Chain A
Amino acid sequence: MKSTPRILVAMLLGATATTGSAFAAGTHPVTGETLAEHQVFTYRVLDEHSSVDPQIVEDVSGSDIVRDLFEGLMNQDAQGSLVHGTATSYTVSDDKLTYTFSLREDAKWSNGDPVVAGDFVYAWRRAVSPELASPYSWFMELMSIENAAGIIAGDVPVDELGVSAPDDRMLVVRLSQPLPYFPQMVTHATTFPVNPAVVEAHGADWTKPENIVSNGAYVLTEHIPNERSVRERNPMYWDAENVILEKTVALVINDENTALTRWLAGELDRTEVPAGQFPWLQKEYPGEAISFPRLCNYYYTFNLSASGPEAFRDVRVRKALALAVDRKIITENILAGGQIEAFTFTPAATAEFEVPDVEIASISQAERDARAKTLLAEAGYGPDNPLKFDMVYNTSESHKKIAVAMSQMWKQKLGVETSLANMEWKTFLEVRANQDFELARGAWCGDYNEASTFLDLLTSPSGYNDGKYSNAMVDELMTLARIADDTQAIYTRVEQEIADDVPIIPIYHYAGVYMMDSDVGGWPINNIEQNWYSKDLYKIAE
């Protein structure tokens, strides 16, 4: 099944990588920890990744691999702050519309070719080209690159994209409007360079291990779909001498309980903790069961469109339902993995964002329940005329537990009758997108570390506003936020509007809950987006 050339390539690369190691059995240059002899990191992924082509990849586990294989203009450090990648510096014009990046001299592709500005131009044009039809082409539009929208629409030729390479070391990007967080966006996989000669030579097959050429700290040496993918240290990487980890192995393990068993058996360095299992694992494996805030929220959305139930158009009903959900039971008893109770939409961990004070958060659950009863009675619902509605979520054990708990809370406290329905993922998305629901589960993980990635979802034109909430004030404020210097005040206002209107019921903000072997060093738990790089990891001698 394995072709001989692939094995040969893997062996050759493996050999060069091991001979190039300067750290095996040494000490870490910064922390002074003794390093393990075998520098291999093995982690579990839920599913097969979509692709390792930077312009095609659309899933989190694929992006994790792409960040190791390719290096864009900027990287993130352990805190999530920007550090230089292939670019050594950049300047912004006074009108904030032109960015000029200087590229490092010593950046090379894994086949020895120099990385030049033209490789970025080629990749960025590729990302928007209708011919490639990348599912992530919209990201270039989101970056406000000049002509991106027109090219995607097929109205403008691809070479008119606002990116050019006056020389091999200089990349100039022109934007159609100022975008304060533009430099953050070039850490995203879609913007990573590709080697034009390799892509042209192999077509769609260029990402196969026997063909791929990359400029990151690692090269792809093995890929068996639905089983494993292996990336090994790239000796051609400009900073290869500071890369400690030799090899990273991603194992596809669909069932999270089996993955946990395999972690317990020592086959994995990292795996996710299934809902509810964190407390015992923390007790048995102190220091190895870790939990930290993530840039994601979990909520339920009311259908406020014409097809939604009459009852939900009454804000008192929505408020009563939101008040009666005891979030503590959900975060502490059901999930029990360090998740954070949510009363507002944007997670507290978002950069330069402070969760505004909203009333519901400051009162006790008993007070909330009492208030919920009054509000629902005022709205005309009670024992003789109980509120009834349907609630949908996508099939998953933990979504089910949460939905059952919520419906029980409503039943006991308010006498509300809910009927629950779980749906297979694509059916669920279709039902939600067509407003064919009454109350539906929703969740969002930020595309970038800024509050607008969440709050934009509740504006009228948003494609993800499935509840069809519309508040002119929110729309206006969010437009204003794009050019404002002080965004916190604006975001506070928006969150308060949302808390008053209750178009959604925030439930909790995510936590990353992992079992992480104690010999793994350098895991960036403070990087809220969890953009991790194997080059920053190391294995400590046990």
Chain B
Amino acid sequence: MTAYIIRRILVAVPTLVILIVLCFFLMQVAPGGPFTSERPLPPQVLANIEARYGLDQPLWTQMWDYLVGIVTRFDFGPSFAYRDRDVNDIIAQGFPVTLTYGLISFVVATLAGMGIGVAAAIRHNTWLDYIAVGATFSAQALPNFVMAPILVIVFTWQLGWLPGGGWNGGQWQYLIMPVIALSTSYVASITRITRSSMLETLNSSFIRTARAKGLPEHKVIWRHAMKPAMLPVVSYLGPTFVAMITGSVVIDVYFSTGGIGRAYVDSALNRDYAVMLGVTILYGGLTVLFNLLVDVAYAWLDPKIRY
């Protein structure tokens, strides 16, 4: 197992390097640059700015300097759009915000989704099951960019219960609407996966055996059905977790949370190369890490899997 983990980490390094190089060159292909603006800069002014950021160097030199900066100084470069902040600042400010609401949404979505899913499976073909299935279908049909403004209209304007946006250091009042908007569709997906997986498990022969030897139903569920039923859920949770903590531009835009999702999209629109690369590396690193964690969790859940 340890050898497997080390091997996976070693593979992750070239994966990330390839990601950086690809992203670096793809960015340059996009039309326009960081200093393309409605009022074209006089050539001399543009030359001064490009010299300041080393953009006048050949691409390979820029690429090399960038990698050296990361490895030697953990410096992910400057932001072209915001002079007084560099990439590290932008990530340090935005990522904790995203991590906070993402983590809470993930916990909410997982607990609610698995709870409803298991309950629906156990009470298969009862009113509880029908409500759960109906609700998840409607929740999934409601995208968060529709839900977010509706939440603000209801809870901020009509009822006056919650602030319409902002972050305020993550106070609970500011978290409620982002968490609802972000987790709802995930609750629906997790419910569906849990329910069908649980149904399948409950119909398998080892559960029949467990019941036959006279185990009470709750023991059958918890001891025998739970672990195998969780396998598809866990493989779904890995990427979901990364997606949730790396943020959602929709949440950042509608609730002005100041999270990293918005910064990422802005960096692409602004052609703020270093910010875009920095966040891509962060996302890439997290994706690799959580895929690894999911694989490890799999081995624990399913004794058939050996590395």
Contacts and interface: CB of A to CB of B under 8 A. Distances in A.
Given A56-B83, A226-B94, A1 B30 contact: no
A257 interface: yes
A227 interface: yes
Contact of B256 (A56, A207, A227, A463): A227
A277 B156 CA distance: 20
A378 interface: no
Interface stretch (A429-437, A493-501, A530-538): A429-437
B145 to A, nearest CB: 9
A252 interface: yes
A424 to B, nearest CB: 7
B157 to A, nearest CB: 4
A48 B272 CA distance: 14
Interface in A481-497: none
B32 A253 contact: no
A430 B166 contact: no
Interface in B78-129: 81-85, 90, 93-94, 96-97
B49 A135 contact: yes
Q: Considering residues B32, B52, B96, which has the most beta carbons from chain A within 10 angstroms of its beta carbon?
A: B32
Contacts of B216: none
B258 A138 contact: no
A53 B52 CA distance: 17
A426 B149 contact: no
Given A208-B84, A424-B269, A464-B39, A152 B164 contact: no
Given A51-B83, A255-B253, A267-B156, A429 B48 contact: no
Contact of B165 (A48, A56, A205, A262): A262
Nearest to A429: B36
Interface in A120-148: 130-135, 137-138, 141
A253 B84 contact: no
B152 interface: yes
Contacts of B41: 135, 138
Contacts of A11: none
B228 interface: no
B204 interface: no
Q: Considering residues B30, B44, B82, B263, which has the most beta carbons from chain A within 10 angstroms of its beta carbon?
A: B44
B83 A204 contact: yes
A431 B31 contact: yes
Q: Considering residues B41, B148, B152, B160, which has the most beta carbons from chain A within 10 angstroms of its beta carbon?
A: B152
Contact of B82 (A48, A138, A258): A48
Nearest to A155: B44
A224 B156 contact: no
B166 A227 contact: yes
Given A204-B83, A225-B258, A464-B39, A253 B52 contact: no
Interface string B14-38: 0000000000000000111101111
A322 interface: no
Nearest to B37: A429
Contacts of A22: none
B290 interface: no
A131 B53 CA distance: 11
A427 interface: yes
Interface string B148-181: 1100110011001001111101000000000000
A28 B37 CA distance: 43
B33 to A, nearest CB: 8
Given A137-B45, A226-B262, A430-B32, A464 B84 contact: no
B90 A224 contact: no
A225 B93 contact: yes
A224 B167 contact: yes
Contacts of A426: 30-33, 36, 269-271
A135 B80 CA distance: 11
B156 A227 contact: no
A47 B257 CA distance: 13
Contacts of B254: 254-255, 258
Interface residues of A, number: 54
Interface in A252-288: 252-255, 257-258, 261-262, 264-265, 267
Nearest to B93: A225
Given A204-B83, A429-B37, A152 B263 contact: no
Contacts of B169: 1-2
A251 interface: yes
B51 interface: yes
A421 interface: no
B32 A135 contact: no
B42 interface: yes
A181 interface: no
A473 interface: no
Contacts of B51: 130, 133
Given A53-B84, A208-B84, A225-B93, A251 B31 contact: no
A53 B83 CA distance: 9
Contacts of B32: 426-427, 429-430
Contact of B48 (A2, A152, A257, A265): A152
A253 B165 contact: yes
Nearest to B159: A265
B49 A133 contact: yes
Nearest to B253: A254
B147 to A, nearest CB: 12
A463 B42 contact: yes
Contacts of A2: 169
Contact of A137 (B30, B48, B266): B48
Given A224-B258, A225-B90, A463 B40 contact: yes
B48 A225 contact: no
A329 interface: no
A374 interface: no
A2 B96 CA distance: 12
B241 to A, nearest CB: 22
Contacts of A224: 93, 167, 258
Given A226-B256, A429-B38, A258 B165 contact: yes
A262 B166 CA distance: 11
Contacts of A50: 81-83
A261 B93 contact: no
Nearest to B150: A261
Given A133-B49, A464-B40, 10 more contacts: A50-B81, A141-B42, A227-B167, A252-B256, A254-B252, A257-B149, A258-B165, A261-B156, A425-B269, A431-B31
18 contacts: A50-B83, A51-B84, A53-B83, A152-B45, A152-B48, A207-B84, A224-B258, A225-B90, A227-B166, A227-B256, A251-B165, A252-B256, A262-B164, A267-B156, A426-B32, A463-B40, A464-B38, A464-B39
